[in-house]
A and B are shown apart, each in its own frame.
Chain A
C-alpha cells in the first residue's frame, strides 16, 4: 500500500471509531433534556431516576468520545501536514472555535451534570444538562463547517509569495504539486466560509443522524426491558420518549436527505453520478434501489426505477443527470492538462472519479437503513396508537420489540455509511476541486510509521470498544434505581404526591 492509502486508512479508522460516540452524546444529550424537563414539570420521581439512568449511559459514551476525539484534533497535522499548511488559515479557525465555544461549554457543565446531583439545585442542574446538550450540538456545527468547506470551498482566495511579496492568484488558478511549498488558501470572507454552499444541508443531516442515534439507543434499551418484563413503568415511559424522538428525527431526516442530495447535484455533480453509478448521460435517469456497480463495463446491476433520479435531482423526469463519462468537462481537463489531446480525455477523466463501486454501496446502505428505520418507527407508532405496543403477551408485539432492540445498530450503520459516502465521494480531492488528497500527506512521515500507529490504535480501540460494550451491557443489566433516599431536600421538595404523569 502507498503512504497515501495508509494515511487515509489510519485517519478513517480513528475517526470512524470516534464517530460511534459523538452522535450518541448529541442525541442522548437532547433526550436527557427532555427527561429532566419532564421531571421538573411533573414532579414524578420516575423521571428523576430515568434522567439519572440515562446520564450514566451518557457519561460512558461521552468519556470515550472525548478520549478518542483528542486524537482527531492533532491528526490533521500528523497525517496531512501539507494540507494543514495549505488550508490552516481557513480550516484552523473552525477547529479553534469548536474548542473555545463548544468543548469548554460541554466539559464544564458535564461536571455539574454528572457530579452535581447533590451539589446544586434542580433548576441549576437542568440548566447544566441543557448546556451540555447545546455544547454537543455546537461542536457538530463547527466540525461540519470545517468539513463542508472541504466539500464546497467558499470565501477564500489563493495566494503565493514571490520575492518576499504576497501575490493574489486568479480564481481559476490550477494548483500543481510544485506550488505546494508556497501557495496557500486564505480567508476572504469568514461568513462565506462558514456558510459555504453545503454547510446548512449537511449540518442538518448530521445532527438529525445524531438524534436518531440517541433516540434509537433509548428505544432499544427500553424495548429490551419490556421484553424481559423488567422496570416496566420506567421502560414504558422511556420507550414513549424515545419513540417520539425517533419518529420526529427519522421523518425530518428524509426531508434533510433530499436537501443534501440536491446540494450534491448542484455542487458536486461527479459525486452524484458516482453515488448512483451513472456513467452514460441519458434522459429519464433511473435510480437503482440496490445492486452493484460493474466498474469494468461501466454499468449498474440491480432493480431500477426509471426517471426517479432525474425527478429527485431536477424535479423533472426528462432532464438527464450528467453521467461520469462526460465529467469532468473538457474546459477543466484542458486547464489541468495543457498538453493533452481530446483523445486522451476519457482516460484522464477516470482519474477524477471517486471509487464508484464502493461509494455506490455506502450510499445505498445509508438509504436502505434510513428508510427501514422510518418504516420501523411508523409500525411502532401504529402499535402504540392501537394500544398494542406494551402488550408483551402478543407475539407480534414481541417481534416488534425485538426489532426495536436491534434498531440501535441502524443509525450507527447509516451514520458511518453516510460519512464514508461523503468522504470517499470527495476523492481524489481533499479540498474539492482545489487540492488532491495524494498531494496533501505529510512528507516526512514514512509508511512504516503510519503502520506502527495504525497497529497501536487498532489494539487500543479494540480494547476500548470491547470495554464499552461490556460496561454498557452491565449498566443495562443493573438498570435504573430509585434515587429518592439520596436526594437532598431541595430536590425532594419537587416530588408531588399525586404525580400528573
Chain B
C-alpha cells in the first residue's frame, strides 16, 4: 500500500475509536450528569445499574483511542497531552472518581455515604464531559504551536469562550444521549420522569449546538474556507441536521431505541463533519498554520502503520463481536437484584 493510504486509514481509524468512545461512554457520562436529578435511592441505583455491565468496556474505547493515537501519530499524542497537561490531569481525576463511585456507592447503606458518591459520580461525569468538549473545541479552533510542534499556549488560554461553549454543548449532547439511553432501560415511574426530561434536553442541546455553529462560522475562519473548497461536506451536514431532528420525532412516537440510534448517528456525523473539514490536519496550529501537525508529519513510519493495520484487522472484529454480545445479553429493562450496584 502506498504512503498516503495508510496515513488516511489511520486518520479514519483513530476517528472511529474516538467516535465509538463518544457514542458509548457518552451515554455513561450523560447518565452520570443526570444522577442528582432523581431523588429516590431506588432510582439512583437503577441509573447506575443501567450502565453497570457496560461502562468499563466503554472506557476502553478511550484507552485504545489513546494507544492508537500514540502508535499511529506519536507527534500529535505528545503535543496534545503535554500541551493540555493540567486539563488532562483534571479529566483523568474526574474519570477515576466517577468510575470508583459506581463501584463504591451502593456498598454501604448510610445516607451520607451514598450522597457523597452520588455527587462524586455526577460531578465526575459532568467535568469529564465538559473537559472532553473543551479539549475538542481547542483542537477545532487550533492551538498555538511552535516550529518543533510544541504547545506554546497556556492553561488559561485553553479555557477560551469558544472551547467552553463546545464543552457545554458536549455536556448537553451527552446528557441528551444518556437520557434517551435511560428511557430505553427504565420502566414505570422512573421512565415517566426520564421521558419528561428528554424534550428539554433536546431543546437545550439544539440551542447550544446552533450557537456553537454560529460561533464557529464567525470565530474560526478556516472552517468556512474549507467548506467552500469541499462542498461535499455540506451533504454530511445536511444528513446530520436531519438525523438530529429525527431524535425528537422518534421520542414523540415512543421509540426510544430509534432515538438512541439517531443520537449515535448524529455523533458519528458530527465527527465525520469535523474529520472531513479538518483533514489532513491532526492538530491545527493557530495563529501559525504552517506549524500544524498533519497526518504526514505527525505519523509513524509506514512499517508501523502497516503492522498496526494488521493488529486492527485482527482485533476490531473481535472487539465489535464482544461489544455486540454484551449489549445483547444485557438488553431490556434494568432491574435490581441483591448483586446490583
Contacts and interface: CB of A to CB of B under 8 A. Distances in A.
Interface in A454-496: 456-457, 460, 464, 467, 471, 474, 486
Contact of B63 (A60, A73, A186): A73
B71 A442 contact: no
B60 interface: yes
Interface in B82-98: 82-83, 85-86, 88-90, 92-93, 95-97
Nearest to B57: A107
B333 to A, nearest CB: 13
Q: Which of A89, A118, A452 has the most CB of B within 10 A?
A: A89
Q: Which of A63, A68, A70, A88 has the most CB of B within 10 A?
A: A88
Interface string B58-81: 011011101111111111011111
A190 interface: yes
Contacts of B108: 474
A399 to B, nearest CB: 33
Interface stretch (A108-116, A248-256, A296-304): A108-116
Given A78-B82, A186-B300, A445-B82, A97 B311 contact: yes
B85 A104 contact: no
A99 B330 CA distance: 23
A192 to B, nearest CB: 12
Contacts of B312: 100
A74 B104 CA distance: 25
Q: Which of B81, B93, B319, B337 has the most CB of A within 10 A?
A: B81
Interface stretch (A79-87, A223-231, A306-314, A372-380): A79-87
B53 interface: yes
B81 A78 contact: yes
A408 to B, nearest CB: 21
Given A104-B57, A457-B93, A67 B301 contact: no
Nearest to A108: B322
Nearest to B91: A74
Nearest to A68: B96
A98 B308 CA distance: 12
Interface in A153-192: 181, 186-188, 190
A98 B64 CA distance: 8
Nearest to B329: A119
B64 A96 contact: yes
A55 to B, nearest CB: 9
Interface in A247-295: none
B9 interface: no
Contact of A71 (B96, B323, B337): B96
A332 interface: no
Interface in A44-94: 59-60, 63-64, 66-71, 73-74, 76-79, 81-82, 84-85, 87-93
A60 B71 CA distance: 31
A101 interface: yes
Main secondary structure of the interface of B (DSSP, over half): helix
A101 B79 CA distance: 26
Nearest to A189: B303
A111 B330 CA distance: 9
Contacts of B96: 67-68, 70-71, 460, 464
Contact of B74 (A92, A445, A453): A92
Given A88-B74, A104-B323, A111-B326, A186 B93 contact: no
Contact of B71 (A59, A79, A92, A111): A92
Nearest to B60: A103
A111 B55 CA distance: 9
Contacts of A120: 329
Contacts of A64: 100, 103
A81 B79 contact: yes
A89 B95 contact: no
A101 B315 contact: yes
Contacts of A91: 70
B250 interface: no
Contacts of B85: 78, 442, 444-445, 449, 453
A60 B103 contact: yes
A234 B88 CA distance: 45
Interface string A322-361: 0000000000000000000000000000000000000000
B74 A85 contact: yes
Contacts of B80: 77
Given A96-B71, A104-B318, A78 B95 contact: no
B307 interface: yes
Given A74-B88, A93-B71, 13 more contacts: A70-B62, A76-B70, A84-B78, A84-B81, A92-B69, A96-B70, A100-B312, A103-B63, A104-B315, A107-B57, A110-B57, A442-B85, A444-B83
12 contacts: A77-B66, A81-B79, A87-B74, A92-B68, A93-B307, A95-B71, A100-B318, A104-B57, A186-B304, A187-B304, A444-B82, A464-B100
Q: When A and B form their complex, which 10 residue pairs have the shortest distance between CB atoms, in order from nearest?
A: A88-B74, A77-B81, A92-B71, A99-B64, A100-B315, A442-B82, A111-B53, A92-B70, A81-B82, A108-B322
Interface of A: 59-60, 63-64, 66-71, 73-74, 76-79, 81-82, 84-85, 87-93, 95-101, 103-105, 107-112, 114-120, 181, 186-188, 190, 442-445, 449, 452-453, 456-457, 460, 464, 467, 471, 474, 486
